[in-house]
Chain A
Amino acid sequence: MSQFLKDKAAIAGIGLTEFSKKSGVSELSLAAQATLAACEEAGLPPSEIDGFVSYTLDSTDEIELARTVGAGDLKLFTKVNYGGGAAVGTILHAVMAVATGVADNVICYRAMNGRSGQRMGQGISGQIVSSDLVHWSWYMPYGMLTPGSWIAMIANKYMHHYGVTAEDLGRVAISQRNYAQSNPRSFFHGKPLTMEDYLASKMIADPLRLYDFCQETDGGCAILVTSAERARDLQQKPAIIRGVVQASTRGQEQMTSYYREELDSLPEMEMAARLVYAQSGLGPDDINAACLYDAFTSEVIMQLESFGFCGRGEGKDMVRDGALDIDGRLPNNTHGGLLSEAYIHGMNSIAEGARLVRGTSTSQPKGVEHVLVSSGVGVPTGALILGRD
């Protein structure tokens, strides 16, 4: 694994819109507001942005956003595939461009009316024949139409194999809900969750209950990536990118990797861990906090194992020990995560990663040197390690 990208680039600005259930504005407007906020925070005019990277699922095209915010000539415009698996992948593409001199200042963005517009849980459909639609068609006719239904199959196997309980999933939900209490941006701010509430919440896709699921949110988030050198001259403390990788493994499917040898691990996340540790020269012991992708609670527990914070089957023990809490071994999703802050497809978790490095999280653990952020689970994914300058 080449270390070429290590320390070459940094997150110099983060920009968010308000998070809501009904934004009342277009997704383009959300993207533009978030981009402007990231530029203003960094102290860089939008005219200096020369690259845009987003998700294939994002409805806002790069040049529409460029025109809207008044960006200049673009040298990089691209979108990354596979839903939330794109999250840190967008950062990788930006870092590759910045490190090679292809572009100087790149905005990675995700803006969605995820509640008032197209909702993830509505299911998928299509008339044309493509390899992607053929893939979904092995599940659609049986009524497997939602992310919860696809993930539950793996979660159930994993929990059965390792004795993970409903209470363990509940501990993840509650830990992140506790963080939400100090984050005014969070949808669940002022609404704590008890284990009784969690267990009483309705079963959606057994073993996953309502509070095992992330939010549906209207909002936008933009991340400004520039060279480490340039970032030091801008207004915010840079979050240096120590390592950033994408990972997809043999036999990978999107959400339904049911045909690989093992059903109770995350091979693509283990690969992302291997690569990002090799690139950064760091290991699990060097990571002080994390934003592990949390579309579902079960994914957080599985990733503790993928990233080597514990052995196989021991994720539940870490959770029971309070490892994810503010004073635990690995404070995780200190903004509340996709479960409790907002679901901006993982982009808001990259923003929190930058805050943790700056020391400005609303739940800031002590002594954070390195933060791990991961992309979507059960899809081609990626991992990012941010470090203090």
Chain B
Amino acid sequence: MAQSFRMKPPMGEDNGWWWQQAAEGNLAIQRCKACSTLRHPPRPMCGDCQSLEWDHVVSSGRGTLDSFTVLHHPQFPGFDYPLIIILVKLEEGTRFTSQLINCSVEAVEFGMPVEMIMHEDPDGFRLPMFQPAQGAHA
């Protein structure tokens, strides 16, 4: 596997902090400081109360599968196909787009419980992925 196949996000004022959290092992969710509304993907202003003040919470990483697709073509270098892409409804209420690993294509189901597992590329880049929930939660 190539060292740097993955397209890295541009790191700007509005999203760089989120990837820093991921680098530290956290799946972060932005929170409005004024009205406490959670929002993802991050934005510089709250769409509900227009506050520019925000902090974040760290997600439990638990959620259920709202939708998914299995990608077969075209195949980009570095990715393993079939590639399962999922839309997770996190316990906290926001959704997150990610990849499902440690799961066969046949076993993917709408509504299945999943849990976050922090993936690290050979070059040290970290991004949250998910796997079928283990143990009690499942």
> Does B7 reach chain A (CB closer than 8 Å)?
yes
- Which residues from chain A contact B68 at a C-beta distance below 8 Å? 153, 156
B41 contacts A142, C-beta separation under 8 Å: no
Q: How far, in whole Å, are A138 and B15 apart by their CA atoms in the complex?
A: 10
Q: How near does chain A come to B103, taking the closest CB pair, in angstroms?
A: 14
1/0 contact trace for B89-118 toward A, CB 8 Å?
000001101110000000000100000000
Q: How near does chain B come to A209, taking the closest CB pair, in angstroms?
A: 10
Q: How near does chain B come to A25, taking the closest CB pair, in angstroms?
A: 27
A128 contacts B67, C-beta separation under 8 Å: no
Given A153-B67, A205-B72, check contact A134 B7 (CB 8 Å): no
Q: How far, in whole Å, are A153 and B66 apart by their CA atoms in the complex?
A: 9
> Does B83 reach chain A (CB closer than 8 Å)?
yes
1/0 contact trace for B72-92 toward A, CB 8 Å?
111010010011010100000
B9 contacts A141, C-beta separation under 8 Å: yes
B11 contacts A129, C-beta separation under 8 Å: yes
> Does A26 reach chain B (CB closer than 8 Å)?
no
Binding site for B on A (CB under 8 A): 121-123, 125-131, 133-135, 137-146, 149, 152-157, 160, 202-207, 250, 256, 258-259, 263
Given contacts A121-B74, A138-B97, A153-B85, 18 further A-B contacts (CB under 8 A): A123-B74, A134-B15, A135-B41, A137-B7, A137-B9, A138-B9, A140-B7, A140-B9, A142-B97, A143-B83, A149-B85, A152-B69, A156-B67, A157-B87, A157-B110, A203-B72, A205-B69, A259-B94
Q: List 22 A-B contacts (CB under 8 A).
A: A127-B10, A129-B10, A129-B12, A133-B10, A134-B9, A139-B97, A140-B7, A140-B9, A142-B97, A143-B76, A144-B97, A145-B7, A146-B74, A153-B67, A153-B69, A153-B85, A156-B69, A160-B110, A204-B72, A205-B72, A206-B71, A259-B40
The 5 closest A-B pairs by CB, nearest first: A137-B9, A152-B69, A129-B12, A206-B70, A157-B67
